[in-house]
Amino acid sequence: MKKRSTGWTLLAVLAVVVVWTACSFIFPVYLFPSIPTTMKKLLEYVDKGELWGDVGATSFRVFTGWLAAIFFGTITGVLLRYGESFFKVPVFFLQTIPALVWSFFAVIWFGLTQFSVIFVVFIVGYPLTAINVWMGLKSTDLSLMQMAQAYSVSRRRVFFGILIPTILPFLLSSARSSLSYGWRMSVLAELIVGGSGIGYKMLYSWENFDNVGVFAWTLMLIVMMLATEYIVIVPVETYLMRWRPK
């Protein structure tokens, strides 16, 4: 099954390469540069020392906002389960506000600072995590809870044996989604805030009519998103869900 999944992944990558290459033949280089041209641009950024500083700046903002969203979102999800009538409206209110609007609010409240980007990543992932944890707790098997109560099972064993395994799939799903959103929202916020980061470099390249540079920074963003998925999310998910039958 694992080999089959790897085969499909490689096939998907090959399809992207084929489509990209075909588009680079159809359109001029200033509209759709080829993969070698884009990679050459990335190597130029490496030689100039421009790549890793901006990648590191964006990564720091994404992971700081994401971890804060997971932490506070999980707490709010638990509060939603036991105080739904009070907490539901504020959480859903936050979720309905578009990320672009949050970006403007962040600049108004915190100025053109790094914290503005972190705030946007956090505020997009926070309600998503809270709602997922809340839904996970609501899906808890009541018969198991009643059985645990009947046999006087300790709260610790109930927590680690019933509640945690129930909400883990929901929490991991929200972690994956909020991290993916976080990368994209950080770029959006950096376009507005400026200064440093992948989003700022995209804007800088666009303003200087360097479309190859825009493609290069976009490719770098995709690489970082895939890296965090397969280096962070997948190993953590595999470890935490190791008890599930394969």
Residue 71 has pLDDT above 90, yes or no: yes
Least confident of 50-54, 143-147, 208-212: 143-147
Tell me if 205 sits within 8 A of 211, measured CB to CB: yes
Q: Are residues 9 and 83 in the same domain?
A: no
Q: Is the pLDDT of residue 2 over 60?
A: no
The structure's pTM equals: 0.85
Residue 140 pLDDT > 80: no
- Whether 13 and 80 map to the same domain: the answer is no
106 vs 141, which has greater pLDDT?
106
28 shares its domain with 44 = no
Q: What is the CATH number of the domain that holds 178?
A: 1.10.3720.10
| Domain membership flag for residue 37 | yes
Together in a domain, 13 and 47: no
How does pLDDT run across 74-89, given as a tens digit for each residue? 999 988 888 878 888 8
Residues 109 and 173 in one domain: yes
- The amino acid sitting at 5 is S
Region 203-209: what's the mean pLDDT?
89
Confidence of residue 3 (pLDDT cuts 50, 70, 90): low
Q: Is residue 153 part of a domain?
A: yes
Question: How high is the pLDDT of residue 245?
Answer: 62
Q: Is residue 245 part of a domain?
A: no
pLDDT of residue 246: 59
Say if residue 39 is in the same domain as residue 27: no
CA distances (Å), 114 to each of 118, 121, 190, in order? Answer: 7, 11, 9
- Tell me, yes or no, whether 192 and 203 share the same domain: yes
**How far apart are the C-alpha atoms of 134 and 149, rounded to whole Å?**
22
- Residue 210 is assigned to a structural domain of this protein: yes
Compute the mean pLDDT over every residue in the chain, rounded to the nearest whole number. 85
Q: How confident is the model at residue 151 (pLDDT cuts 50, 70, 90)?
A: low
Range of the domain at 7: 1-32
Q: Same structural domain for residues 10 and 83?
A: no
Same domain, 24 and 137: no
SS3 of residue 41 by DSSP: helix
pLDDT greater than 80 at residue 146? no
In this structure, are 21 and 66 located in the same domain? no
Same domain, 49 and 28: no
What is the token pair recorded at 192?
């507005």
One domain, residues 54 and 23: no
Provide the domain count of the chain: 2
